[in-house]
Every structure is written in C-alpha cells, then in structure tokens.
Structure 1
Amino acid sequence: MIDKALILRKFSELDEYSRQIGEFASTTSEEYSGNWKIQRIVERTLQMMIESCADIANHIISSNEYRVPKNYVDIFKVLYENDIIDSKTFDNMANMVKFRNIVVHDDDKIDASIVINILRKQLNDFMTFRNAILHVL
C-alpha cells in the first residue's frame, strides 16, 4: 500500500529544494565555473532533488510490487512501463539521473553549460514528475 504521507513529505522536500535552487536560476556559466560555492550548492541540491524523486519512485514500485529496478535510470523506466509517467518524463528523469551519477561519482568534469541549462530550462521537469505521481495517488 502506498504511504501517501511519505510521498507528500518527499514532495515537500522537493518543493523546498526547488525554491532554494531557484535562487540560482539566473547564474551564468562564468559565475558557476568561477565559484566553487555556487557549484557545490547547485550540484548537491540537484542531487538531492533527483534522489527524492527516486525515493518516491522506489516506494511506488515496492508498494505496487512492480519489478525490481536494476539501477537508478531503471527506477524511472519501471514507472514508465507501468504508465505512472509518460515517455517524455521518463527521458527527462533518466537524463537527470545520468547527471546525478556524474555529480556523485565524479566520473567526468561537470559541464557548466549542462548545469545552467538545467537551472534555466529543466527545473520544471521535477514538477512534471511530481504532478504525474500526484495524478496516480
């Protein structure tokens, strides 16, 4: 059974992170690249947002006894396979997870233009995910 209170708490966290990171939406690539504090705040906040979405997704997967995901991207694929999210939301969340993996594992140097693009154009992807989950609750 889906614990709606748990999901709503996670949504509250997501909303708070969204408000916080919104303060950096006008940051330029130069400002981002030249300021380790901005980098740390933005990257860590994005990581927490992505992980909150993954936590929500994992709870839904477990509660509905869907197949066990193999990795972070697969978490969102399971939701897509079960018509919880649409293909565009899946693609957006899969890209966010790939970004998270770079942040967490430091596999590559983080490209400032990607971060700035997320800040300016893709923060709404989190709200799209949120709304899709609310729709099924």
Structure 2
Amino acid sequence: MERLIVERKLDSLQRCLARIAAKCPETADALKADVDLQDVLVLNISRAVQMCVDLATHLIADLPLAPPGTMGEAFDRLVEGSLMDAALALRMKKAVGFRNIAVHAYDAIDWDIVFAIASRHLGDFRAFAHVVALRLDGEAA
C-alpha cells in the first residue's frame, strides 16, 4: 500500500467529515429549506464515500482477494480479508448507494436521509478511517 497516497486520502476524508459536521443544520426541515446547505452536504458526503471506496481498494490491493466488481463489494472484500466487520461493511455499502443516487439521480435525493447521514452516521466514516489507519500502522511496524 502506498503510504503517502493513503495518508492523503485519509486527510481528505477527515476534511469532508469536518465540513459536513460544521454545516449540518439542527433539523431536516432546515436542510430542506436551504439549497446551499444541501449542496455542501451532498458534495462532501459523496466525496467521503468515494474516499472510503478508494481507501478500500488500496487495502484490497495488498490482499490475496479477488478485486471487487462494484464499489460496494470493496467493503465485502475487506470483511473477507478480516479487516472490518460485516456490520460496518453493510453501513458503508448503504453509503455507496446514497452516493450513487447523489451522483446519478440528484433529483431523487431524500433530504431526510441526507440529514440522517450528516447528523448521525459520520461515525461510520470515522470507524472505516480507523480500520485503514490500523492497517497502515501495522505495515509501518
């Protein structure tokens, strides 16, 4: 795994999560009423998901596992490689599903889901970053 690339992606992920946390409004209704906040949150959530997928593929490249066929399968492969638990993988796959809607069907976004991700699920991204950091630290040892 290329340490510098992974570290930069982890930094980018942390910046996205900080931006989401800083801009998340108090209620879903406030989000629904503010198009600018919608854009900021969706863009940063989408970027965070993409960073996680990219990081997952970097981890997979160093394992004797088949390459994933989809973005979501990247997290399944990490479960197969015993790098993360199935519950976190499922939550990350759901995040990929959201990202796909955000990128390909923006008009179908459910703002209650965006609010839920921004207000209650950033910990999933942080937990995944921890998985990556542990692997990175293990390689340094």
Q: TM-score, normalised by structure 2?
A: 0.89
Q: Which runs of 5+ in 1 are unaligned?
A: none
* Cα drift, residue 11 of structure 1: 0.6
1:24-81 Cα distance to aligned partner (Å, 9 max, x none):
2334222211222111110010000000011111111123342111111111111111
* Cα drift, residue 90 of structure 1: 0.3
Which residue identity is paired with 1:73? G
Give the secondary-structure state (helix, strand or coil) at the position aligned to 1:17: helix
| Correspondence 1:32-111 to 2 at 5 A | 32-106=31-105, 109-111=108-110
Q: How many pairs does the alignment contain?
A: 136
Give the secondary-structure state (helix, strand or coil) at the position aligned to 2:108: coil
Aligned to 1:120: 119
Q: Is the 8 A contact 2:56 2:78 kept in 1?
A: yes
Which residue identity is paired with 1:118? I
More displaced, 42-51 or 79-88? 79-88
Q: TM-score, normalised by structure 1?
A: 0.92
* Cα drift, residue 124 of structure 1: 0.9
Aligned to 1:8: 7
Structure 1's 123 and 40: CA in aligned 2 closer, same or farther, altered over 3 A?
same
Which residue identity is paired with 1:125? D
Distance 2:18 2:97 in 1: 23
Q: Which runs of 5+ in 2 are unaligned?
A: 137-141
Distance 2:114 2:95 in 1: 10
Aligned to 2:139: none
* Cα drift, residue 121 of structure 1: 0.8
Distance 2:66 2:14 in 1: 28
Q: Is the 8 A contact 1:85 1:133 kept in 2?
A: no
Q: Is the 8 A contact 1:27 1:116 kept in 2?
A: no
1:79-98 Cα distance to aligned partner (Å, 9 max, x none):
11111111111011011001
* Cα drift, residue 118 of structure 1: 0.8
Give the secondary-structure state (helix, strand or coil) at the position aligned to 2:88: helix
